[in-house]
Structure 1
Amino acid sequence: MATLLSLPREIIHRVLYFAAPASRKQFRLASGLSGEIGRKWVFESVQISPVKKSCEGFKRILDDPNLARSVTKVYIDTRDPDRESSVDGYGNQNEDAMPSDDGEEGGDEFPRPFWSLVGRLGELPRLQSVALRFDPECDGEEDDWNEVEQSIEFRHSVLCKVFAVLANLPRLPTELAIQDLQNINPTDPDVKRDIEKVLGGLKSLRLNIANEHSDGNGEHDIEKEALHSFFPTLGSTWLAPAAANLEHLTLYSNLFIGFFPICDITNIHFPRLKTLALGNYTFMHDSQLDWITSHGSTLQELYLDDCPILYEVKLSAADTARTLLDKDRYKPHPRIVGDDLYASYDKRWCSYFGAFAEKLPHLRHFRFGHSPAWWQDETTPFEAETGITIGFDKESYMTYCEGYGPSQYMRSMIWDVEDEEEKERNFFPDYDCRVQPSEGDIAALRALLRRTGQEVELDEDGKNCNPPSIYH
């Protein structure tokens, strides 16, 4: 430690910049001098949740001017991140949880001491970034019987209160992240005004969307009306107010979006966008590719996490109006019985990668593949886009086949056929996937990675030769 402390302070700070949080804490406790130097890195990012220990710790930081000046980021957790204690709408709290405002355990309101501390965020003079984190499991108005930790009403109330605080800070945050934002759009004019005010000052926005999900009947998830009212308006509600200044945009969903439910953001341009990350976003139209490349004058980083190209789709005539494609793109198909309609897409990943190489001249970092962080803590990857394992996987090309489960998104189309052997192959699509990553796809990915200076070894199938151990 004495050798490290003999270095110039700017070098010590550089070392701490790359150090893990646990190492920073150890360094700070080593001596008085290391404590002074390490304070910035230990208290740069802090967390508050509605449990007694967390609130007491956050209050100590607020009450100490030196510590308060160190904080640049605050995580507002609506539950204990370690899940050792939780505040919810059903009275399920442990002994560390604090009573709600009405003096009873539980309820949809957080305890008054917690909200009092959140209301003091303005006392952090260097605060730049705020992350609001909900529970990944959510219910809907149609499933009142399914008691999850956090109801729609609970989430809506928290969202309104947090944005009211943020909108009235002496200096608006420049970074905002919301983990497991359920697909609800506040309609109250005052709340909308607060949201738009906060979004208008952002340089970085991360939205991880949580949707209702049934492990036993996953094919019904996409039928929920909330999806089809939320995602078509996501752009106008959450993205357009931030468009002028935004430099970083991350958009993830726990269900596939883009094609169906429709999430068309191609009419929103971000003139300063440097980083774009998409998770579970499906490609089915050239306008989506053109939208990405339209940011070629600024875009430097692009992350595509479990983002498939849909090469074939079939769905009911009634649902065609709620998809990314125009209705005239759908036609009857000789192998489809009944009123379902069919559409296909002829673009392949080699076309996308070639366009990125040609039309994104400032691109310096590109990751396409699957993040090992998917479903850790039962949720989507959060602040983890740089950890995507590069390479093709089984979901690089997919189809949408309405009426089948556990998900309508699958590797191959299930046709209406009489031949029993073909029926069996349909239900084991891994053995009969018509579209696989081609040699051209793999060559185009390698060429793009070389252009960005990334050394990634891919095998003949385009898979990563050195995936992390938790890759799945």
Structure 2
Amino acid sequence: MASASTLWPEIWDRICSFMPKPSLLQLGLTSRDMNHIALPWAFRDLRLEGFGDSAERFVKIAKSPALRDLVRDLTIDTCIDPHFNYKSTECYEMCTEFMDALPYVRCFSRVTSLHLRFNEFCGSDEQDRRGVHCEETWDFRYRVLNTVCHCVAGMWTEERQVTIDEEADLPDHTPKYPEDDLGVSLTQALHLRELTIANLADYDDPRLSASEAWKKVLSLPSLVDLKLYITTEIDEDAPENALYFEEKYAMLENLPYTWLCPSIAENLRVLSLYCQEFWGWFPKMDFRLVGESSPFPKLKVLALGYYVFSHQWQIDWFASIGQENGCFGLEELYLDNCPILFEARQMGPFDSSDPGYPMTSTVLNRVWNPETHKYPLRWHNILSHWAQSMKGLKVFRTGRGSGNGPSKEMFNAAMQDGKSPEFPMVVLRHRLSDQAHRNFDAPEPIPPNMELEVQKKLWVTSKYSQGAGISTLPGCRLQYLKYDITKGPSEYDEETTNYFSDEIAFAPEVEAVAMDEAAYENIMLAISERQEQGD
């Protein structure tokens, strides 16, 4: 067996890429050469969290030129404690150390991937519509987002931070600012390649939209990968009341002018857009407003979560994406729990200028005048068209992902080294959650009927180290749903309940089941043949 001294540095570098941080730090102590290889991997990924000593460690690394320049992947998580029950009667104490550490983001000039994560519960102020405390208010989120944007854009100064804090006006927080410039340029923007946000609030905050720093971040030439998961305000005691929370409608309707504005849409190669509830039809989000003639001209990968198909124009729009990417359109398309609406009962009258869509103002006015609409679009219509029109498509997955919780595959893979985890299990579960919008292209989940011993053999490999993606079992793919304003807690009624089965999914007409499956097999065959020709 080769000794450590006889292995090439390239081999050790590859080995280090699979090692946990404690092992990397120990390896770095063995020799100067090993430290040179192991240290960059040990500090490649960094987290700033609102619990433990995370903020203190983050600031120490930020103040070290030797260590901060090693960081490439930065995660900022607002959680104050994985054990804490948000939106409850528990007493919430903001982590002031976390908030004070945010301006140090500007020190990490070599970060290329930035991941922001908020709590899934959002609301307007301290007392939401049903009187229960909402911890991460819109003011809180604005302070975090705009501070980070100023750091990324190379626009952070203490004076600007003071203005942000005055606008946010957070209770029980007296900010402390960095005492010096730390040898970091105040005008150098980070060359971000990837930006992901988990639990982005369903609120189009005018303060953020007006921020020059936010606009600059979305205009960064280097930013080609955007992944957003939008959370929505809820009423746990009366879930049906969330229908009348107006902020989410404005937020989704304005996406083409905010998070998907031309300055970023024209540059993206990868886009992942998920929402906590069904969206696209109602709340409406009109993709036609994103680059009318050539939407997302350079896009190669698109992932959507809980997006609803309902109209013919959507078929043509998807086929028109990426016409300037050099690959004849989209290369990869992922549809995570994206059904077709075949029937809807909603407040009328509907929008006469855009037939088949409700008018938000009519619904919010609560004038009882329901209308029932039928929608003829079927999966075989969509897939047969895409098989011919999407010439560059090499990967197509439609089905159901792992949702908000950690996939069992990713969790068990993280626990398979036979050692005690370097942090409590509850922390591990927390860190592996809220990643569906990032893990969509991971390997399919393990089938539920697979023997446990076979599953364990997969867990010890690196196959699921980055999570489990979308299941394409027949029970998961090609879904349909109805909408009924008179039903609760959700107005959307999914027709299939046994997703992870080998049974073919429901279709509104009996004959459509076979037609849908045939169209699915045809597009998958076309993609397979295209891949073989490419090889």
TM-score (norm 1): 0.77
SS state at 1:74 partner: strand
Query: Is residue 113 of structure 2 the alignment partner of residue 129 of structure 1?
Result: yes
Distance 2:253 2:116 in 1: 23
Deviation of the 1:25 alpha carbon: 4.4
Cα–Cα, structure 1 residues 447 and 10, in superposed 2: closer, same or farther, change >3 Å?
farther
Deviation of the 1:375 alpha carbon: 4.2
Further displaced range: 84-93 or 185-194: 84-93
Deviation of the 1:224 alpha carbon: 1.2
Cα–Cα, structure 1 residues 183 and 328, in superposed 2: closer, same or farther, change >3 Å?
closer
Map of 1:434 onto structure 2: 508
Distance 1:264 1:42 in 2: 43
Map of 2:60 onto structure 1: 60
SS state at 1:390 partner: coil
Cα–Cα, structure 1 residues 70 and 62, in superposed 2: closer, same or farther, change >3 Å?
same
Aligned length: 410
Aligned positions of 1:85-164 closer than 5 A:
92=91, 106=93, 111=96, 113-140=97-124, 143=129, 145-164=131-150
Distance 2:270 2:353 in 1: 27
Q: Do 2:281 and 2:357's aligned partners in 1 also have CA atoms closer than 8 Å?
A: no
Q: Do 1:411 and 1:433's aligned partners in 2 also have CA atoms closer than 8 Å?
A: no
Q: Do 2:203 and 2:247's aligned partners in 1 also have CA atoms closer than 8 Å?
A: yes
Map of 2:492 onto structure 1: 409
Percent of aligned pairs with the same amino acid: 27
Map of 2:258 onto structure 1: 237
Q: Do 1:207 and 1:250's aligned partners in 2 also have CA atoms closer than 8 Å?
A: yes
Query: Is residue 237 of structure 2 the alignment partner of residue 195 of structure 1?
Result: no
Distance 1:267 1:190 in 2: 18
Map of 1:38 onto structure 2: 38
Deviation of the 1:270 alpha carbon: 1.0
Q: Do 1:44 and 1:73's aligned partners in 2 also have CA atoms closer than 8 Å?
A: yes
**Matching residue's letter, 2:284:** I
Q: Do 1:5 and 1:12's aligned partners in 2 also have CA atoms closer than 8 Å?
A: no
Map of 1:356 onto structure 2: 386
Cα–Cα, structure 1 residues 145 and 87, in superposed 2: closer, same or farther, change >3 Å?
closer
Further displaced range: 387-396 or 128-137: 387-396
Deviation of the 1:127 alpha carbon: 1.1
**Matching residue's letter, 2:280:** G
Map of 1:287 onto structure 2: 313
Given the alignment, which residue of 245, 248, 252 partners 2:270? 248
Deviation of the 1:355 alpha carbon: 2.8
Deviation of the 1:380 alpha carbon: 6.8
Distance 2:4 2:288 in 1: 51
RMSD, matched Cα: 3.5
Given the alignment, which residue of 232, 243, 248 partners 1:211? 232
Map of 2:483 onto structure 1: 400
Map of 1:385 onto structure 2: 440
Q: Do 1:186 and 1:192's aligned partners in 2 also have CA atoms closer than 8 Å?
A: no
Deviation of the 1:72 alpha carbon: 1.1
- 1:73-116 superposed Cα distances (whole Å, 9 cap, x missing partner): 21111114x614799999946xxxxxxxxxxxx36xx52x5445
Deviation of the 1:41 alpha carbon: 2.6
Cα–Cα, structure 1 residues 152 and 444, in superposed 2: closer, same or farther, change >3 Å?
same
Distance 2:86 2:391 in 1: 48
SS state at 2:391 partner: coil
Cα–Cα, structure 1 residues 300 and 9, in superposed 2: closer, same or farther, change >3 Å?
farther
Further displaced range: 68-77 or 163-172: 163-172
Q: Do 2:340 and 2:481's aligned partners in 1 also have CA atoms closer than 8 Å?
A: yes
Cα–Cα, structure 1 residues 86 and 400, in superposed 2: closer, same or farther, change >3 Å?
closer
Q: Do 1:183 and 1:211's aligned partners in 2 also have CA atoms closer than 8 Å?
A: yes
**Matching residue's letter, 2:440:** E
Aligned positions of 1:191-340 closer than 5 A:
191-201=210-220, 202-240=223-261, 241-268=263-290, 269-296=295-322, 297-318=328-349, 320-321=350-351, 325-326=355-356, 339-340=369-370
Map of 2:196 onto structure 1: 177
Given the alignment, which residue of 505, 518, 522 partners 1:447? 522
Map of 1:416 onto structure 2: none
The answer for unaligned runs of 5 or more in structure 2 is: 155-186, 323-327, 360-367, 407-429, 442-468, 496-503, 530-535
SS state at 2:345 partner: strand
SS state at 1:207 partner: strand
Cα–Cα, structure 1 residues 47 and 379, in superposed 2: closer, same or farther, change >3 Å?
closer
Query: Is residue 346 of structure 2 the alignment partner of residue 346 of structure 1?
Result: no
Map of 2:499 onto structure 1: none
Further displaced range: 124-133 or 249-258: 124-133
Distance 1:59 1:327 in 2: 50
Distance 1:453 1:64 in 2: 50
Cα–Cα, structure 1 residues 349 and 392, in superposed 2: closer, same or farther, change >3 Å?
farther
Deviation of the 1:445 alpha carbon: 2.3
The answer for unaligned runs of 5 or more in structure 1 is: 94-105, 330-337, 413-429, 455-472
Cα–Cα, structure 1 residues 391 and 432, in superposed 2: closer, same or farther, change >3 Å?
closer
**Matching residue's letter, 1:174:** R
**Matching residue's letter, 2:332:** E
